[in-house]
Amino acid sequence: MARYIDEILQPGEKVLYSTNAHWIFYVPAVSAWIAALILLGMSRMTVVEGLVLLCLTASALVACLALYLTLKGWFHRWTTETDVTNFRVVHKTGFITRKTFEMSLDKVESVDVDQSILGRIFNYGDVTIRGVGEGVETIRTIASPLAFRNSITTR
């Protein structure tokens, strides 16, 4: 499947920078996998039959939740694209229902980056793009938000 940006490039337009949703989307899934493994380990440490069955059942349920969260995080990252071309900023989310945001670089008034402490440590954050007469759009939890901002503001 081709990338969205490749389908909409205009003649003479080049992609200058691409980023994606940050891998932090996988943290809930990883936490659930760890909990499932702990419950599985607990089932092996006990000798009480009822407790073994309870731990195995809980481990299976948490593993199902972990699988769901893994697929959800992967699908979000797979269906999200954020690009800067020499003419515009393009952000796309969704697969069947698609939401896109495009703004001409000439219409960008300011680009704000919001990072938490963890965001600074792991290099992710939210970027708010304000346009002249075009409104405000916030792109949430993207990787390398400062590099993304610099690719928009540097011309």
Query: What does the pLDDT look like over 1-44, one tens digit per residue?
Result: 678 898 989 999 999 999 989 999 899 999 999 999 999 999 99
8 falls within a domain: no
Please give the tally of structural domains in the chain. Answer: 2
Long-range contacts of 92-98 (CB under 8 A, 24+ apart): 92/4, 92/5, 98/4
Contact 126, 144 (CB under 8 A): no
Q: Is the pTM of this model over 0.85?
A: no
Domain boundaries, position 146: 82-153
87 shares its domain with 146: yes
3 falls within a domain: no
